[in-house]
Amino acid sequence: MIELSYSRATDAADAIRRAEAQAAKYLGGGTNLVDLMRETVEVPSALIDVTGLPAEIEETDDGGLMIGAATRNTAVAEHPAVRTRYPMLTRAIVAGASAQIRNMATVGGNLLQRTRCTYFYDTDGSRCNKRTPGEGCDAIEGFNRIHAILGGSSACVATHPSDMCVALAALDALVHLRSASGERTVALCDLHRLPEDRPDVETVLEPGELITAVQLPASDLAAHSTYRKVRDRSSYAFALVSVAAALQLDGDAVADVRLALGGVAPKPWRAWRAEEALRGRPATEASFLEAADAELADARPLAGNAFKLDLTRRTIVAVLQQLTEGARP
């Protein structure tokens, strides 16, 4: 038996104070952390329950939304302003997990959920640099069908599992953080790190730093957006490839676009190169293919996941075609 303490934070300052005192983990809905503790991948000595912290969705002065980190995933997906102004976010959330898990899972916990690489969870016999730095990675020469084709390293090729984060990356979301040394904001696109030689360091968060809110900037583009997830079965499965996209046309040309990918990289992958390749170009299948190829130029598929290259390409094209058809009068 592993001993640990549990306490409930009354506010952000209280959570940070409690976390400072011990080797603690913040506890959201527990839908990932408790599984990791069961497998002894995570062994905290204390859990600080942060589900009592702000869980409201509020309008910001610039016409965006501020979502408290303790807000449940279902509440975000069902909020009328999210459904109408940021539909890709609703679609991404409901594409994930199950209704029961979405009812439990919080925004903060979703951002920091850990990879679904099976070797990472196998503490009994697999080598994993993310779990035990320097040990080696059994996925690289092993069963790597679900692993990364972009952004991986010779130390780790795990993918980030979140659907919600892919939409947040495309929406230029900001993550509000608080610690004993103050408050700061980082772009969602900069929150997660690529593995390089330290796959165990997954984010730019400092020890004990608390996620307090996620901010969605106002966006005309976001109202015309969608999320498509390709997976092995139609529910209760993580993405092999997913695409979050928003598109604005000027006649037959792409005026503006936002594109992010899931299931293919160690972090929610903003497709900056594809966006750049698309702006001002005709909204045609040929342009969409060129943009997808630009994004995938540096892809390094593994023995088991080369199929993701074509799947990513085809999913990007299909989503952009769908948005183009929807944008025409």
Ligand X SMILES: Cc1cc2nc3c(=O)[nH]c(=O)nc-3n(C[C@H](O)[C@H](O)[C@H](O)COP(=O)(O)OP(=O)(O)OC[C@H]3O[C@@H](n4cnc5c(N)ncnc54)[C@H](O)[C@@H]3O)c2cc1C
Instruction: Note the residues at the interface with ligand SF4 (CB under 6 A).
Output: 115, 117, 119-120, 128-130, 137-139, 156-158, 199
Edge-first strand order for the sheet with 46-49 is 5-8, 46-49, 24-27
Cα gap 256→247, rounded to integer Å: 6
Identified binder of ligand X from the candidate list 101, 253, 311, 318, rule CB under 6 A = 101
Q: Which is nearer to ligand X, 242 or 248 (CB)?
A: 242
What tokens were used for 210?
């608390």
Identified binder of ligand X from the candidate list 87, 108, 151, 195, rule CB under 6 A = 108
Q: Which is nearer to ligand X, 167 or 283 (CB)?
A: 167
- List all residues 6 or more positions away from 174 whose beta carbon is below 8 Å from its beta carbon: 185, 186, 187, 188, 214, 215, 217
Do 277 and 294 meet the contact criterion of CB atoms below 8 Å apart?
yes
268 forms part of the interface with ligand X (CB under 6 A): no
Counting every residue written for the chain, the total comes to: 329
- List all residues 6 or more positions away from 106 whose beta carbon is below 8 Å from its beta carbon: 28, 29, 50, 51, 55, 69, 70, 71, 72, 73
- List all residues 6 or more positions away from 310 whose beta carbon is below 8 Å from its beta carbon: none
Q: Kindly write out the interface string for residues 202-241 of this chain, putting x where it contacts ligand X by CB under 6 A and - elsewhere.
A: --------xx--------------------------x---
Identified binder of ligand X from the candidate list 97, 117, 222, 247, rule CB under 6 A = 97
Q: Which is nearer to ligand SF4, 122 or 293 (CB)?
A: 122
Angle between the N-to-C axes of helices 285-295 and 307-327, in degrees from 0 to 180, rounded to the nearest 10 = 140
Question: Which positions from 25 through 84 interact with ligand X, judged by CB under 6 A?
Answer: 25-33, 50, 69
Q: 26 touches which of ligand X, ligand SF4, none (CB within 5 to 8 A by kind)?
A: ligand X
Residues that bind ligand X (CB under 6 A): 25-33, 50, 69, 96-97, 101, 104-106, 108-110, 112-113, 161-164, 210-211, 238
